[in-house]
Chain A
């Protein structure tokens, strides 16, 4: 067994023998995600509101059901959530390209007729690829509409036909007596209604305006999958950091002196510590992600891509702290600086506040943090895309930090 492997094995063994700190750092992000998720879940109550979703609506039907749908969007609650702009398909796509809208809802031709005739039809939601989750909310809303309209269309099939037949008549010619049996039937149906009927008449077809040939994976909005990656990377930093600070502790308690008397070189020690921090980070991340799926129903998307992203992020974290420890004079300095650095990274990188809600200046600074690239990469994968930029930045930064650490840190250890 090589000396590097021996140290990595020893580090992991020691962490397993005294696992409380690691377990705590595994539990805390889960607990915080649960609490924040419950507080911020838009479905929980109206205390916290999402930013208004800029929704374009293309009405190709212009008939009763479409008017009913647009009327619904004009109700107070939905008005707070959606900023609706009526447009046509071409203008809508142009606005989407300019990033002026989160999503575009297309009401197809003969939408009202198809519903009345009990024929399947589809509302189309076109998502803006430049935004992370607001299009998902719009899609979720359209899916809810689809369920509601399908149910209504099936339950009130007869009444819809009557309404369609009389919609061109003058309302003055219809008397209360004429309407009474119709209203009585409708009332009885509402009372008798227990469940939705199936099959669904109305469905939602979601697309994202992307480069041609790219597949899109529709996904619903899950507040926990929005919060958890940020929490995970913040606590990953807390988990990985002690593995590298160990170098300072060992300098203080004589272990380094003892190690440097063995054939072990300073570089081997730094390499081992980076990789033990990395390995621990990856293992804890995988556990945390599995727990996230079990507890919060988080769909991580392509697991291989997630694994690659986690591996790159953990490497970057470990190399970053290895580099920083080359500049810390002693364990007290390392201990004093580590937590503030992690907290600043987390604040600017989107672990504490959603990236979209950070001011532009903070977002720019956030671009220099591991947190930012991990969170955006995670969301890309959840949205069905490869996080190429995140992987490249995290790997390159990790290599850069590791290179500095390999030069500077052994000088402190090996005389």
Chain B
């Protein structure tokens, strides 16, 4: 692995009886873009809040460049943060915002101005640098939010769901920016519950649920967990119990149940030849099936295998 930037060891945090993080451990190297994938309540925001220094009462440790992140406040100056909220001043224009946020890092004005102009070009806001932000679209605001997080050339960038509430085109643009940031040597931690986003932008993916990492690796490594299996998604007006009962009556033939819920189930087949026989079995039991989809192994299948539920659940 490249030079370690971030080392999280046995981080635990509870809210009363609810465990948000349970012995969470993770390493991150220079220039790595880590996608932290998990459903709502997986503990992603808790992790970001602890790393941001806004949440206390946890156990475990976080080292940044080999030093305790919480022991030396100056270390935090090397981290950039992009909160889920639009954390900038809407009364100011994009350039004024960058000058203000950069000013907090005592960057000389001339250098700061140059850096702000460069960043505005990177996030494709160069032509609108002096326009009131109130006129910006959601995607433009998200891009500015990222640019502010990068104004002081951080070594680690934390992004908390940076693509929430924007259209597909804007998402693509933001994911491109995140990838480029990683290429330039900045380590990135990026939380999301969108599978396609981590597939597109991240060099490493960690699947998280119930406060812990279930699996991590590159996309290819994770897909190998599922194996070279065909994934069948079955939808219809059935209950999870009825579906399970019918499946149990079949001989399986190398089939693996990834998830079963009311109205939808996911099955993995090592041998694609076994799929028609299983479908016949299901139809033979008059299961009201309305849709069948056969997919290649993907991250969604990995997630289903690891958590037993889909990200939408």
Q: Which chain A residues have a beta carbon within 8 Å of chain B's beta carbons?
A: 1, 3, 6, 10, 13-14, 17-18, 252-265, 414-415
Contacts and interface: CB of A to CB of B under 8 A. Distances in A.
B283 interface: no
Contact of B87 (A1, A253, A264): A253
B85 interface: yes
B81 A263 contact: no
Interface string B101-119: 1011110000000000000
Contacts of B76: 260-261
A415 B77 CA distance: 14
A6 B87 contact: no
B100 A258 contact: no
B52 interface: yes
B60 to A, nearest CB: 15
A17 B91 contact: yes
Contacts of B74: 263
Interface string B196-229: 0000000000000000000000000000000000
A261 B53 contact: yes
B91 A18 contact: yes
10 contacts: A1-B103, A6-B100, A13-B91, A13-B92, A17-B92, A254-B86, A257-B87, A258-B83, A261-B81, A262-B105
A415 B92 CA distance: 28
A263 B104 contact: yes
A1 B99 CA distance: 12
A257 B53 CA distance: 8
A261 B77 contact: yes
Summarize B's interface: helix, strand, loop or mixed. loop
Contacts of A18: 91
Contacts of A260: 52-54, 76
Interface residues of B, number: 32
Given A3-B106, A254-B84, A261 B91 contact: no
Contacts of A256: 54
B100 A10 contact: yes
B4 to A, nearest CB: 20
A246 to B, nearest CB: 10
Interface of B: 52-56, 70, 73-74, 76-77, 79-81, 83-89, 91-92, 96, 100-101, 103-106, 148-149, 152
Contacts of B70: 415
Given A3-B104, A17-B92, A261-B80, 17 more contacts: A6-B103, A10-B100, A14-B89, A18-B91, A253-B83, A253-B85, A253-B87, A254-B85, A257-B52, A257-B87, A261-B81, A262-B104, A262-B105, A263-B74, A263-B105, A415-B53, A415-B55
Contacts of B80: 261
A256 B83 CA distance: 10
B154 to A, nearest CB: 9
A331 to B, nearest CB: 12
Nearest to B55: A415
Contacts of B105: 262-263
Contacts of B87: 253-255, 257-258
Across chains A and B, which 4 residue pairs bring their CB atoms closest together, nearest first?
A254-B83, A254-B87, A262-B104, A254-B85
B77 A263 contact: yes
Contacts of B104: 3, 6, 259, 262-264
B105 to A, nearest CB: 6
A262 B91 contact: no
Nearest to B48: A257
A186 B242 CA distance: 120
Nearest to A17: B91
Contacts of A1: 103
Contacts of B96: 13
A44 to B, nearest CB: 43
Contacts of A261: 52-53, 76-77, 79-81
Given A3-B104, A3-B106, A258 B81 contact: yes
A10 B88 CA distance: 12
Contacts of B55: 415
Nearest to A260: B53
B77 A255 contact: no
B80, B84, B89 interface centre (most CB from chain A within 10 Å): B89
A23 to B, nearest CB: 15
Nearest to A259: B104
A281 B246 CA distance: 75
Contacts of A10: 89, 92, 100
A263 B106 contact: yes
A6 B86 CA distance: 21
A412 to B, nearest CB: 10
Contacts of A415: 53-56, 70
Contacts of B103: 1, 3, 6
Contacts of B100: 6, 10
Contact of A258 (B73, B91, B92, B148): B148
Contact of B101 (A257, A258, A265): A258
B56, B74, B80, B103 interface centre (most CB from chain A within 10 Å): B103
A247 to B, nearest CB: 14
